[in-house]
Amino acid sequence: MFTIKFLPHNKEIQAEDGITVIRAAMEAGVHVNASCGGEGVCGKCRVIIEDGAVEDGISSLLDDGDIEKGYRLACQAKVRSNLVVRIPVESVVDAGVLNQQSAPRRKAKIKQMDFNDLKEKGLFLPPVEKRYLELPEPTAQDHLPDVTRLVSFLKLNYGEERLQLTLPVIRKIPDILRKDNFRVTATLERPVREGSKTRIINIQAGDTSSQNYAIAMDIGTTTVYGQILDLVTGEVLSEYGDFNGQISYGEDVISRIMFAEKEGGMEILHDAVVHTINNVIEKIVKIAGIDPDEISTITLAGNTTMTQLMLQVNPRYIRRAPYVPAATIYPPIRAKDIGMNLGDHVVALVYPQISSYVGGDIVAGVMGSGIYRTEELTLYIDIGTNAEIVVGNKDWLACAACSAGPAFEGGGIKMGMRATKGAIEDFSIDPITLEPMNITIGNVRPKGICGSGLIIMVATMFEMGIINNLGKFNRDLKTPRIREIQNVWEYVLAWQHESQIDRDVVLTEIDIENLIRAKGAIFSGCQTLLEEVGLSIYDLDRIILAGGFGSYIDLEKAIVIGLLPEIDTDKVTFVGNGSLMGAKMSSLTNRIRRDVGQVTQMMTNFELSETHSFMDHYIAALFLPHTDMEHFPKLKKRLEARQKR
Amino acid sequence: MFTIKFLPHNKEIQAEDGITVIRAAMEAGVHVNASCGGEGVCGKCRVIIEDGAVEDGISSLLDDGDIEKGYRLACQAKVRSNLVVRIPVESVVDAGVLNQQSAPRRKAKIKQMDFNDLKEKGLFLPPVEKRYLELPEPTAQDHLPDVTRLVSFLKLNYGEERLQLTLPVIRKIPDILRKDNFRVTATLERPVREGSKTRIINIQAGDTSSQNYAIAMDIGTTTVYGQILDLVTGEVLSEYGDFNGQISYGEDVISRIMFAEKEGGMEILHDAVVHTINNVIEKIVKIAGIDPDEISTITLAGNTTMTQLMLQVNPRYIRRAPYVPAATIYPPIRAKDIGMNLGDHVVALVYPQISSYVGGDIVAGVMGSGIYRTEELTLYIDIGTNAEIVVGNKDWLACAACSAGPAFEGGGIKMGMRATKGAIEDFSIDPITLEPMNITIGNVRPKGICGSGLIIMVATMFEMGIINNLGKFNRDLKTPRIREIQNVWEYVLAWQHESQIDRDVVLTEIDIENLIRAKGAIFSGCQTLLEEVGLSIYDLDRIILAGGFGSYIDLEKAIVIGLLPEIDTDKVTFVGNGSLMGAKMSSLTNRIRRDVGQVTQMMTNFELSETHSFMDHYIAALFLPHTDMEHFPKLKKRLEARQKR
């Protein structure tokens, strides 16, 4: 780590070796004009390296004199030592203006439970274990039936009792026993419910007890992620994600359900997702370098529609009032019966659903994040097209889904896009010149705006007074970047020649409106849900963000636009793919498999559309950050201070 | 019923309307010469109807004068009133000789448990029940998931708790609920183990609760029998038997196992028996006139080899020392998974095995006959190629198998045959002329001898002194029927022209030797088994015979040859196909399904070949009836009385 000092701002941060100077500036909250996203073509991000050495940053856009003076392109120059970097400001600016610059980025800390936590907390009850036996061979005096011999010695050598077998295993036993002189390894599947029977699910010749693996899988509407877990060490051996093959039949769950209602549609969707699952399995098995026959169990989590499609349970009634899912809890299912390329003996556990719009992915997040086991009042939010919200602690849990719309995934945003290469993911604006600082994913010329970038833009512009609390641009600002085109006001993030597309990259007032609706739905969802249980957002001890999107959100900015309540950002953690995490934890320990039934039962689902106050809260939330500034006291103070100047 | 009096014997019996006079005579123990088995072609069975009227019996073999005098052919004349029938004896015989005639036939009484017994004894716990529900339709205020709705109202309306579902049923629920306005019938499978969960195995639109059926099936080496049972009324609606399709690959279990050891052999045998099972199912469904979808459960019983072949469990080690079966208890299996043409939801219960040669057919007999529930010390014998023996009561049970050889099924007997048309099934001999009285199955000319006929012949000839206790013919008797052909002595039962075959039908000393070996094996098996548990055959309270053969055995004759111990014949009962009976009882009540596990555990298997005394007992039993006549005190007295004359 190196220390980078930015002048004239006089801000210092610690930066990793090799990151670009422009990203270090962004982290420090220092604005540097940059239109081309970091590709090095606009030449605007000129900075002077006053002390220390950088790698690269010399460009034909700089003349020899400049280079001599220490000028470099901040988006190309890489940090290789402690540095003093001066940002050339176009006019003499006072400290006040500099201090209006953004606060440093505050992303949520990643916090996931792991295998050692489980062990330490006594929660490690492996769902599948292997037992190696050296059995005596049958003789005229000892002619126990083969199965009885196996079962007796499992009891004698390991104290195993209440064992149950399946026919496929019985079929294997006679020959497997005799393959390696009655030396065998039995795979034992532990009961989820205490007091139930342990099942012998496999039998192998010789000693294979060190090879015992599980798969955890998240079946998302867009992507399917899988992991191979080592059940002996608890390690994640491999992970791989792939697009859900159902995407070609519809972007979201509603369009999938509509497709499933067509003749043969459900079978097509089922086959598509199973094909994806099998692809992912093949990949993770290959990456981990294990024998696929040694996989003993699989846990899957997905939303209600994904779960029903995967299990070929007609999802038709999910999208029709009164929106009932087929089931909440599904029994253990032979993986092969739903088309998975796994051994005959592998049982699939599928995470239970709460309602049509709070599914197994959310339950998995609740289980994996452990919020059902703490005293702390926690708000768990998984943000995607739908935002699912869970609130509660070890004594009670309540949940709701709210349709946020696809703004965070780029939907309904003129130049919105998913968080892929070319999406503006970070942004700053010069308070005087109103010139932008665009940082794109992949450091290439901008193509569009992704969800996290959108939040940063709107929050930054709002705090600087460039847009007002209704999300409208200040019409008085003198810059060609703010303009009215066909009755819609917009801000030009990148001109056509600086972009990857054949037109200017812009942020419009309609985009801002859509973002406000999306964040308003989530905020009022949280508020309504808390009120329904007699609490308010001030009572929250913790917020957990889940979903791919959550890791990119700048927490301070999310508070500024009123997406998150104003809470100490240290109390916000990020769990990544909560669904995958829950599937993983369930694969590692029966304790969580056991608890999930109770959690499902204790979780109360609220239909926000039936809650009278939801619409009121929603309308009140259609402002930046909110009609009622009392919810955002720190922000209010900052804004007031700014206005006084 | 009419009274028939036979002269000059002065014996009276009650006979049913329509039976032939010759069969009435046989039942009365009255000899009438008859060579042609009852077909009416030998003309030897001339009797005089002195009083009363018969139907038919007039033949071209009788001249007009004879007919005038009242002569009729006894094998053609049918009883239609009370009769006085005179047997024309060829010489004046004294009462002493007449009294040497056989005692009346004494077959075992059929005794089977039935549905009413179960109900009376509080043993009726139906394994599958149907529940009809009229569910409220979901509304905006009541949007329970479909499965939750069903489960909640099963609890509310019927007190059903701890319910479990399978995926195929969950798949059906959403659409079935909406098919008839949320009026549905749920099929509930009760747990065999108390305290376990009830499974919802099917869901149907509307009220189908009156239609609920089970199948019971016996998988025999030779034949497969099936029954449809009405689970509401307990009635047997249909029954059908068919030859096991495996017969083409071997007559007995050993040859089947040898075939199974060939490449692909096990699959061929599995497919063959499943094909037979499906044929039988199709037939019994048709006869009963039921909807096959209403079949909820199936129970199957078979010997160890048949069970393993049906379940595709390699039977190789059954026929190899030390003769270990794969398993004793099999888990419940989805009927479809073993190839049965039954609904997806139908679970097959397979009767457990005790050892390689005491299989599920015998366990079924023990369960169905209820010997495990009484105080009485009972001997249960199932006689086929192998004889399986069980002895015990409610406190203990012991079992063994002994290889009797196929004599009782016609094997190893020169003119032996199965009990089908043309087999001599009953026999008597004139003590003076040594002329035979042959009664065949179907009343046709003789083709051969079946097991029950063989026992009667040997017993009758032994008691009359025609053969000695070694089974050798008395060389001094003057009759062309007893002769020596190629060093083997034999008795001609029917001359070529009276038979259906192109040669004389005979009983040879080798046949008798084989019968003695077979009965000796069974008797010494019973004796050894009893001794192993510290008892003797005198301690027996009851004998139960099972197997198709058992119903035809003349009990008195079986005692005379020493097949059965000398016991009051009233204490001998016959259960018919014990395997089918046990399968039926298990289909009707979970009580028996529950008990079977304990019974299997409490039954001690003895390997007779490892028991030192077995060979001694066997050698001692190779006499008629036995070396030690003290075992047969009544017979001893009768023989002594005869010798004194």
Going from the C-alpha of A410 to that of each of A417, A452, B223, B341, the distances in angstroms are 4, 10, 71, 53
Residue B324 forms contact with A (CB below 8 Å): yes
Q: Which of A149, A175, A329 has the CB atom closest to B314's CB atom?
A: A175
The Cα of A157 is separated from the nearest Cα of chain B by a number of Å equal to 20
| pLDDT recorded at residue A91 | 46
| pLDDT recorded at residue A103 | 62
Answer yes or no: is pLDDT of B102 > 60.
Answer: no
Q: What is the pLDDT of residues B568-591, one digit of tens each?
A: 889 999 888 999 999 999 999 999
Residue B612 forms contact with A (CB below 8 Å): no
Q: What is the mean pLDDT of residues B383-412?
A: 89
Q: What is the mean pLDDT of residues B116-142?
A: 90
Alpha-carbon span A438 to A460, nearest angstrom: 13
Residues 192-231 of B with CB under 8 A from A: none
Asked if residues B214 and B298 have their Cβ atoms less than 8 Å apart, the reply is yes
Residue B314 forms contact with A (CB below 8 Å): yes
Q: B167–A326: do the CB atoms touch at under 8 Å?
A: no
Q: A328–B607: do the CB atoms touch at under 8 Å?
A: no
**Which residue does chain B place closest to A308, by CA atoms?**
B171
Alpha-carbon span A379 to B178, nearest angstrom: 37
Chain mean pLDDT for chain B = 91
Please say whether the dihedral angle defined by the alpha carbons of residues B38, B42, B43 and B47, taken in this order, is positive or negative: negative
Alpha-carbon span A418 to A409, nearest angstrom: 5
Half-sphere exposure of A127 (CA within 13 A, CB side): 31
Alpha-carbon span B645 to B629, nearest angstrom: 20
| pLDDT recorded at residue B103 | 61
**Which positions of chain A have pLDDT values less than 70?**
90-105, 645
Q: Select the more confidently predicted residue: B113 or B454.
A: B454
Q: What is the pLDDT of residues B167-203, one digit of tens each?
A: 999 999 999 999 999 999 999 999 988 888 999 999 9
Residues of chain A with C-beta less than 8 angstroms from the C-beta of B145:
324-328, 353, 355
**ipTM (interface predicted TM):** 0.85
Q: A327–B140: do the CB atoms touch at under 8 Å?
A: no
CA B159 vs. chain centroid, Å, equals 42
Q: Left, alpha or beta for B32 (phi > 0: left; psi -120 to 50: alpha)?
A: beta
The tokens of A13 are what? 């941060």
Alpha-carbon span A339 to B592, nearest angstrom: 37
Residue from B313, B347, B363 whose CB has the most chain A CBs within 10 Å, to mutate: B313
Q: A145–B313: do the CB atoms touch at under 8 Å?
A: no
Its pTM stands at 0.84
**Which residue does chain A place closest to B323, by CA atoms?**
A143
| pLDDT recorded at residue B306 | 97
Any long-range contacts for A55-61 (C-beta under 8 Å, 24+ apart)?
Answer: A55/A80, A57/A21
Q: B323–A142: do the CB atoms touch at under 8 Å?
A: no
Q: To 5 degrees, how large is the angle CA B40–CA B45–CA B48?
A: 115
Residues of chain A with C-beta less than 8 angstroms from the C-beta of B312:
171
- Ordered by where they begin, the domains of chain A are 1-101 (3.10.20.30), 125-205 (3.10.20.880), 214-350 (3.30.420.480), 367-404+517-644 (3.30.420.40)
Answer yes or no: is pLDDT of B644 > 60.
Answer: yes
Compute and round to an integer the Cα radius of gyration of chain A: 28
Alpha-carbon span B9 to B89, nearest angstrom: 10
Residue from B141, B166, B170 whose CB has the most chain A CBs within 10 Å, to mutate: B170
| pLDDT recorded at residue B72 | 94
Query: Which amino acid does the sequence have at B44?
Result: K
Q: A324–B170: do the CB atoms touch at under 8 Å?
A: no
Answer yes or no: is pLDDT of B389 > 50.
Answer: yes
Beta-strand relationship, B572-576 and B542-546: parallel
| pLDDT recorded at residue A129 | 95
Answer yes or no: is pLDDT of B612 > 90.
Answer: no
Residues 6+ apart with CB under 8 A from A117: A123
Q: What is the mean pLDDT of residues B32-40?
A: 89
DSSP string, A352-395: PPSSSSS-HHHHHHHHHHTGGG-SS-EEEEEESSEEEEEEE-SS
Residue in the block written with tokens 């119903």? B551
| pLDDT recorded at residue A92 | 47
Query: Which amino acid does the sequence have at B34?
Result: A
B444: part of which helix (H) or strand (E)?
Answer: none
Residue A323 forms contact with B (CB below 8 Å): yes
Q: What is the mean pLDDT of residues B65-77?
A: 92
Q: What is the pLDDT of residues B469-524, one digit of tens each?
A: 999 999 999 899 999 999 999 999 999 999 999 899 999 999 999 999 999 999 99
Residues 6+ apart with CB under 8 A from A63: none
Q: Which of A139, A174, A312 has the CB atom closest to B314's CB atom?
A: A174
Answer yes or no: is pLDDT of B97 > 60.
Answer: no
| pLDDT recorded at residue B118 | 80
| pLDDT recorded at residue A645 | 65
Residue A254 forms contact with B (CB below 8 Å): no
Instruction: Establish, for the pair of chains A and B, how many residue pairs have beta carbons separated by less than 8 Å.
Output: 126
**Which residue does chain A place closest to B163, by CA atoms?**
A331
| pLDDT recorded at residue A518 | 94
The Cα of A168 is separated from the nearest Cα of chain B by a number of Å equal to 9
Residue B148 forms contact with A (CB below 8 Å): yes
Q: B311–A175: do the CB atoms touch at under 8 Å?
A: no
**Which residue does chain A place closest to B348, by CA atoms?**
A167
Q: Can you list the alpha helix ranges (DSSP code H) found in B464-566?
A: 509-532, 555-560
Q: B147–A353: do the CB atoms touch at under 8 Å?
A: no
